[in-house]
Amino acid sequence: MAELRWNPLIKDWVMIASHRQNRPQMPKDWCPFCPGSGKVPEHYEVYKYDNDFPALSQDPPVPDDVATDIYKTREAYGKCEVILYSPEHTVTLPELPVDHIKKLVDLWTERFVEMKKDEKIKYVFIFENRGEVVGVTMPHPHGQIYGYSFIPKKLELELEACKEHYDTKHSCLICDMIKDEMEFGKRIIIENEDFIAFLPFFSEYPYGMYIASKKHKQNLTQFSDSEKYNLAKIIKETAGTMDALFDYPFPYMMCMHQDPVNSGDFSEYYHFHIEFFPPMRSAEKQKFNASSETGAWAHCNPTAPEEKAEELREAYKRFLSK
């Protein structure tokens, strides 16, 4: 079964993909993403791989006959791709040279452009899940791209907030957030000519950094080569900073927020940024999303962002000194 089902309580689509439950557990001595597997080229640097068990498809099955007046269904239309960061099975993102990560940024850009050619796709979501704590079963360095036939609820809420701010203040909300963060200074972790990495004023997670473009741009296609290089550099340094916190590969979810595609013009009020969701609150303790966060979306960060930002800046110095 693969279909979309409508949740009328929050007005959002849920992907039902029961076929993914039967994904095989990969043998410990074989990896489909490694050269020699027969699944990928013998030689590559970064590589796009179509997901073997996609939640969304450009040739989706007809939904089950279970819809009612309030319970709507829809075809699970879209695309799911895996983006391989390197042919090396055990390398981590912070260990890759910036020039190599720049090739990854170029591939993300290429796939963004290619996916948006399908007018049924409304949002291209680039992300990475890292670490067993967030459910990763494949250690080979990789991320994913989902092309949705709808704008997911969180992105919809962000867009609405940015539009409301623009209509009231005649400025971009995220530009104004960056201005506030740079004026305050104490939550900024990393900065280069084109991007900043900071722990937001409202961070839900103790180490939940954001990366944002200093210039008002909406997606990867608008960045120059030098900006893409600086994006690669700050992604490497942000992930490396988290690794340096407790001297082990830090688990996280990395989520790239860009403007929707085939859905209108958002250029006046939306702004490119990346959000990190690292689930650890200390070296050994995980921050679980309990009833308040999960059931009410009422998030509670057990730490002060200003204190954790200082801790992250010290970790950044340790990463640079390696």
For the chain, the domain total comes to 1
pLDDT digit string (tens) for the chain, length 322 residues: 789 999 999 999 999 987 544 555 666 788 999 999 999 999 999 999 999 889 999 999 999 999 999 999 999 999 999 999 999 999 999 999 999 999 999 999 999 999 999 999 999 999 999 999 998 888 899 999 999 999 999 999 999 999 999 999 999 999 999 999 999 999 999 999 999 999 999 999 999 999 999 999 999 999 999 999 999 999 999 999 999 999 999 999 999 999 999 999 999 999 999 999 999 999 999 998 889 999 999 999 999 999 999 999 999 999 999 8
CA–CA dist 172, 163 (Å, integer): 8
Question: Which run of H or of E encompasses 166?
Answer: helix 153-169
State the Cα–Cα distance between residues 98 and 82, nearest whole angstrom.
21
Cβ atoms of 140 and 37 closer than 8 Å:
no
Taking the model in full, what pTM does it have?
A: 0.96
- pLDDT tens figures, 245-294: 999 999 999 999 999 999 999 999 999 999 999 999 999 999 988 899 99
Distance CA 112, CA 107 (A): 8
Closest CA to 142 of 99, 107, 98: 107
What CATH number is associated with residue 216? 3.30.428.10
- What local confidence, expressed as pLDDT, does residue 25 receive? 60
3-state secondary structure of 208: coil
Q: What is the pLDDT of residue 250?
A: 96
pLDDT in the model for residue 237: 98
Residue-number span of the structural domain to which 278 is assigned: 2-321
The conformation of residue 62, written as its DSSP 8-state character, comes to P
Asked whether the beta carbons of 228 and 98 are under 8 A apart, the reply is: no
Q: Which of 19, 100, 140, 142 is catalytic?
A: 142
Q: Is 273 a catalytic residue?
A: no
Question: Do 295 and 256 meet the contact criterion of CB atoms below 8 Å apart?
Answer: no
| Mean pLDDT of all residues belonging to the chain | 95
The pLDDT assigned to 26 comes to 66
